[in-house]
Amino acid sequence: MTARADRGPIAVVTRRLRAGAASFGAWIERSSYLRKWVVLGGAIGLIAGLGAVVFYNALVISTHFFLGTLAGYRVPTPAGEGNAAGSGYFARPWAIPLVVALGGLLSGVLVFLVAPEAEGHGTDAAIDAVHKNPRMIRARAVMVKIVASALTIGSGGSGGREGPTAQISAGFASLLARVLDLSPEDGRVAVSVGIGSGIGAIFGAPLGGAVLAADIVYRDDFEVEALIPGLIASVIAYTVFGLIETFTPLFGYVASSYQFHQPIQLVWFAVIGVVSGFVGLAYSRGFYAMVNLTRRLPGSRMLKPAVGGLLVGLMALAMPEVLGTGYGWVQKALGPSLASIPLWVVLLLPFARILATSLSIGSGGSGGIFGPGMVIGAFTGAAVWRLLEPIAPGVPHGPAAFVVVGMMACFGAIARAPLAIMLMVAEMTGSLTLLAPAMVAVGLAYLIVRHSDATIYRSQLKSRAESPSQRFGFGLPMLAAVTVVQAMTTPRVVLGEQMSAAEAASRLDHDDLPGAPVIDEQGRFVGVVDRVSISEEAQQRPDTNVGRLADPTASTVPMRANLDTALEALSGASGWATVLDAERRVGGILATSDVVKAYHGALETNLGRLSQVAGKASALEERVGEDSPLVGRALRDRLLPEGCVVVSVHRADSLLFPNGDTVLHPGDVVSALVRPEQVDNIRDVLLGGPAVGGAGTDGEAVDA
């Protein structure tokens, strides 16, 4: 396409959208916490609900075509999807392995030719984006994930439908982080909320989805900031999905009548917990062993899902329960139909599902591992019930309680999200009365898994302390006291989106730069290009417009931010990031070396101020009164005496690490280090007495 064509109607619409997004992003940044997350959470929830509807119907169509039409086999469905009994036999058994292999082949070709990052189970990729770069999920990967997962699971591959729906809503949240220039913290929360609301919508479990948003990104910690936004998004996603599809719980109200009144049952629930913990470990280790084996085997990566599908199809000839999502078989296990399933099938099915999921998804196919984990847990509970029911006292007459608790314990433990999974399974089965005895099973299973430090989601960090933002914040506490403007540099090269690849490569080579930001005709940020890729493009297609090559997922830094926010963004970048103003125009370039220089300067300055405080300094914390002479005045105005070092200012729900430009407001709580003889005077000034500063005093602040 020529430069003239790029100035046509599409370019005009694109420019207007960028301008509108910049203005809306600035409005979001100025908004209160409530208004910000009602708007963002509502938008994410709407897309999560619609995305769940789209994928649900794509999977129904795919399953009907591949297994129904081509193979002549109908899979059973759970209560929330019609409660169909399914086929009692294979009409064309020879077709089953071929159909599953065909689905794997089509999925593999699509993924590895169009969007390789769509390989695997999706949820891990979204968690990875939360920790590394919330802007990194491409829209292309989301679309490929929908189609590839429908092909894999619909043709009979063992996978769950939560991975694609989580990636749809997490991908939209990532898009919001890019186009609205959300801060790294808000971007992380948005993507976490996308994960939880998408999974909550497809499973009809809004409360569990909201808690999952905060629970799933760490193994042993909780993302508290995602909980309230997650509630907003999950409720909206659940409502949208329910209005279009159904509000009926996925497995109906199978255990709603269960009453815990026999303490002896706690022993049997404990047995479920212990067994589920070890089965969960087998699931995680078996799955990733298959991933590692597949990557080491020779051959094209796009063909390996077909081989995995062929093997799953052969398994299905003996155990049809391994085909598809398996939710219909869980429905059978929850009721009297369990007795009609041979005991050897019930005992072997958890391990057969582990193998089938490893072959289907671990070989490079596309689909979730959440759903199979619950099928594995359900039949673990069913197996315990079948073995104990004839011989043990106090065992319930029906299997539902054991099956439900097995789902909670097995996957809740290995996903390292026990609370969220308990709530989700309770909502999916209408069995809130089981939560109390289930705690025993889930707790024991979690302890077994935690002891081995295993997880099914390898992108999870152990705790918030392992997050780059937290590590830099604790290790370099003065970052929050230095602004980006103080550290950034003027960009040496800024490329226009109409510039040719050849000219752009020449400019980067001339200035010996690793890359540069790209702007449109109005000066708004489009993305960044790196020197290596632009040079390769210049050799093959020198006339290509730079705007087509710009990476919109690259990290950016708001000009209004401090260095703690900037370094968090840089941790997911390649050593530098573009600084943008409120209108998304390029204001500067910030490299890690710039951060180090600015931090070193702040240390030298503030250590000099700290030396003015006597060795027996006192810590003072006081609220700024309405009549204080400090109200409306910057700290650098020298109204405080020499040797008074302001460490922090607590304002409403925010903790500020001030500098000389910080203006105090009534109600601010000021923490300071002062000389002992000055404590009473400074307290009076903060509360509303006369100023005690003067010439030669030091009104600057420091983060100690």
Kindly list the structural domains of the chain, giving each domain's residue range(s) and its CATH number in brackets, ordered by start.
39-244 (1.10.3080.10), 265-299+317-464 (1.10.3080.10), 471-597 (3.10.580.10), 612-687 (3.30.70.1450)
**Averaged pLDDT, 645-661:** 75
What is the three-state SS of 379-437? HHHHHHHHHHCCCCCCCCCCCHHHHHHHHHHHHHHHCCCHHHHHHHHHHHHCCHHHHHH
Does the structure show a pLDDT above 80 at 11? no
Does the structure show a pLDDT above 60 at 284? yes
**Cα(524)–Cα(529) distance, integer angstroms:** 15
The most confident of 38-42, 470-474, 505-509, 690-694, by mean pLDDT = 38-42
Structure-derived torsion over alpha carbons of residues 451, 455, 459, 464, reported in degrees to the nearest 10: -40
Angle among Cα 91, 92, 93 to the nearest 5 degrees reads 105
Say if CB 313 and CB 156 are below 8 A apart: yes
Lowest mean pLDDT among 44-58, 446-460, 581-595: 581-595
The pair of three-digit structure tokens given for residue 646, joined into one six-digit string? 């302001």
Does the structure show a pLDDT above 90 at 59? yes
User: Which residue is listed with tokens 């913990």?
Assistant: 277
Between residues 21 and 586, the one the model is more confident about: 586
Q: Which amino acid is at 462?
A: K
**Averaged pLDDT, 86-114:** 91
Lowest mean pLDDT among 194-208, 307-321, 672-686: 672-686
The most confident of 172-186, 231-245, 532-546, by mean pLDDT = 231-245
pLDDT tens figures, 536-552:
888 888 888 888 888 88
Neighbouring CB atoms inside 10 A of 179's CB total 18
pLDDT at position 2: 41
Burial class for 97, CB neighbours closer than 10 Å (0-12, 13-18, 19+): buried
- Which secondary-structure segment (H or E) carries 674? strand 669-674
Q: Look at the pTM and tell me if it is higher than 0.75.
A: yes
pLDDT at position 572: 62
The pair of three-digit structure tokens given for residue 558, joined into one six-digit string? 């708001």
**Across the chain, how many H-helices and E-strands are there?**
25, 10
Confidence class for position 1, pLDDT limits 50, 70, 90: very low
pLDDT at position 318: 93
Angle between the 95-114 and 304-318 helix axes, to the nearest 10 degrees? 150
Neighbouring CB atoms inside 10 A of 87's CB total 16
Residue 476, helix vs strand vs coil: coil
**Averaged pLDDT, 23-49:** 89
DSSP type of residue 624: P
Share of the chain above pLDDT 90, in %: 38
Between residues 158 and 480, the one the model is more confident about: 158
pLDDT at position 239: 96
Confidence class for position 692, pLDDT limits 50, 70, 90: low
Which of 209, 273, 256 lies closest to 405 in space, CA to CA? 273
Neighbouring CB atoms inside 10 A of 83's CB total 15
Per residue in 507-542, is it b (16+ CB within 10 Å) or e — as a string?
Answer: bbeeeebebbbbbbeeebbbbbbbbeebbebbeeee
Q: How many CA atoms lie within 13 A of 219 on its CB side?
A: 19
Between residues 434 and 67, the one the model is more confident about: 67
The most confident of 58-62, 523-527, 594-598, 629-633, by mean pLDDT = 58-62
Alpha helices in 115-205, H assignment, sequence order = 123-132, 139-154, 162-179, 184-202
Between residues 110 and 690, the one the model is more confident about: 110
The pair of three-digit structure tokens given for residue 421, joined into one six-digit string? 């999974």
DSSP structure string for 483-498: BHHHH-B--S--EETT
Residues near 555 by Cβ (< 8 Å), separated by ≥ 6? 133, 135, 184, 569, 570, 572, 573, 577
pLDDT tens figures, 123-166:
888 898 888 888 888 888 888 888 999 999 999 999 988 888 88
pLDDT at position 352: 96
